[in-house]
Chains A and B, each alone.
Chain A
Amino acid sequence: MEINSSHNRYHRQLILPGFGKEAQEKLRNARVLVVGAGGLGCPVLMNLTGMGVGEIGIIDNGIVELSNLHRQLLYDMNDIGEFKTTAASKKLQRMNPEIRISSQSIMLTNDHALKTLEYYDLVVDCTDNFPTRYMLTDACWLLKKPMVFGAVARYDGQVAVFHKNVTYRDLFPEPPSEGEVPDCNEAGVLGVLPNIIGNIMAAECIKAITGIGEILSGKLFTYSALTNDSLIVEINASANKKLQQPQSAGEFEAMNYPALCATRTEIEIDKDQFEKLIQQKDVLLIDVREPDEVPQLNIHHKRIPLNELMGMSLEENKTVVFICQSGKRSIRAVRICEESNPALAGNIFSLAGGINSLHEKFKTN
Chain B
Amino acid sequence: MTDTLTIRCFGQLTDILGSARLEVPITNDSEELMHLLLKEYPLLKTTRFIVSVDRKVIREKTVLTPGSEIALLPPFSGG
A residues with a Cβ closer than 8 A to B are: 36, 38-41, 125-130, 150-154, 156-158, 170-172, 176, 180-184, 187, 189, 194, 220, 222, 224, 226-227, 229, 231-236, 238, 240, 307, 310-311, 332, 335-336, 338-340
Contact = CB atoms under 8 A, between A and B. Distances in A.
A336 B44 CA distance: 9
Given A153-B78, A220-B73, 13 more contacts: A39-B78, A41-B79, A154-B12, A172-B48, A176-B75, A181-B47, A189-B78, A231-B73, A232-B55, A233-B52, A234-B55, A234-B56, A234-B57
Interface string B17-61: 000110000000000000000000011011110101001110100
Residue of B8, B12, B42, B75 contacting most chain A CB atoms (<10 Å): B75
B43 A310 contact: yes
A236 B57 contact: yes
Contacts of A311: 43
A127 B79 contact: yes
A194 B75 contact: no
A68 B16 CA distance: 28
A253 B70 CA distance: 38
A153 B79 contact: no
Contacts of A39: 78-79
11 contacts: A129-B77, A172-B75, A176-B48, A180-B46, A184-B79, A194-B79, A220-B57, A229-B21, A234-B56, A339-B42, A340-B43
A231 B55 contact: yes
Contact of A180 (B43, B47, B57, B73): B47
A176 B74 CA distance: 10
Interface of B: 8, 10-12, 15-16, 20-21, 42-43, 45-48, 50, 52, 55-57, 59, 71, 73-79
B76 A38 contact: no
A38 B4 CA distance: 42
Contacts of A233: 52, 55-57, 71, 73
A204 B77 CA distance: 20
Contacts of B74: 153, 181
Nearest to B44: A339
A142 B21 CA distance: 38
A152 B56 contact: no
A184 B71 contact: no
Contacts of A180: 46-48
A224 B76 contact: no
A157 B74 CA distance: 10
B8 A231 contact: yes
Nearest to A332: B46
